[in-house]
Every structure is written in C-alpha cells, then in structure tokens.
C-alpha cells in the first residue's frame, strides 16, 4: 500500500489570488520577471515581454500555413536572442490525418 499524503492545500481568498496574479503580470510587464525575447517586437509586446519560461505553447493552423517555419524560427531566436538565459526547448510535432 502506498503512503497517503497528509498535506492540506492552503486555502486563499479569491482577492488574495487575484492580487498575486496581478502582481506577477505587472512584474512581467515591467521586466522584473524575465521573458525570453523573440525577433518580433509586436509578439513580444503582446506576450508581456516575450515567451514565458516553463509554459506550454501550442501553435495551430491549417496545413501549409507556416506553423513549422514559425516554430523553427522561434526556437532558433530563443537561443540566439537570450544567450545569458539557461533554458531548454522541447519541440513536439503532431499531425492529424483526415
């Protein structure tokens, strides 16, 4: 029999959780929490400074729309434009047949 956990989740009031996420968003927007830069300034602005580390991003679109090209450019840029950051990129490719 596997041991059971006796940990109880902390309960927060919704206003505390909202304050935490607003603080985090503000820190990302101001650059206090670092984002990984890309070559696209508008994309960086929309993502509050760039790609957020430790997040899964899905790139979706119809066949031939440039998803693989975008992903390859993004992956190369992340390493080229963020040389002082220590991170890993996992790139998975899934095809759906009709």
User: Tens digits of per-residue pLDDT, 23-69?
Assistant: 998 888 888 888 899 999 999 888 888 888 888 888 888 888 998 89
> Does residue 2 have a pLDDT over 70?
no
Parse the chain into domains and list their residue ranges: 14-81
Closest CA to 54 of 76, 74, 34, 84: 34
Task: Report the SS3 class of residue 42.
Answer: helix
Token pair in block for residue 81: 């434009």
> Does residue 90 have a pLDDT over 80?
yes
Q: Which long-range contacts (CB under 8 A, 24 or more apart) does 75-79 make?
A: 77/37, 77/38, 77/39, 78/36, 78/37, 78/38, 78/51
Q: How far, CA to CA in Å, does 58 sit from each of 21, 61, 93, 94?
A: 22, 10, 10, 11
> Does residue 98 have a pLDDT over 70?
no
Say how far apart CA 36 and CA 44 lie, in whole Å: 9
> Does residue 1 have a pLDDT over 60?
no
């Amino acid at each position: 029999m596997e041991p059971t956990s006796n940990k109880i989740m902390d309960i927060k009031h919704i206003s505390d959780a909202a304050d935490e996420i607003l603080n985090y968003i503000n820190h990302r927007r101001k650059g206090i929490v670092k984002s990984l830069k890309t070559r696209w300034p508008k994309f960086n602005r929309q993502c509050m400074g760039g790609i957020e580390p430790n997040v899964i991003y899905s790139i979706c679109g119809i066949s031939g729309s440039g998803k693989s090209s975008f992903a390859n450019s993004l992956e190369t840029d992340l390493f080229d434009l963020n040389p002082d950051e220590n991170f890993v990129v996992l790139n998975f490719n899934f095809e759906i047949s009709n």
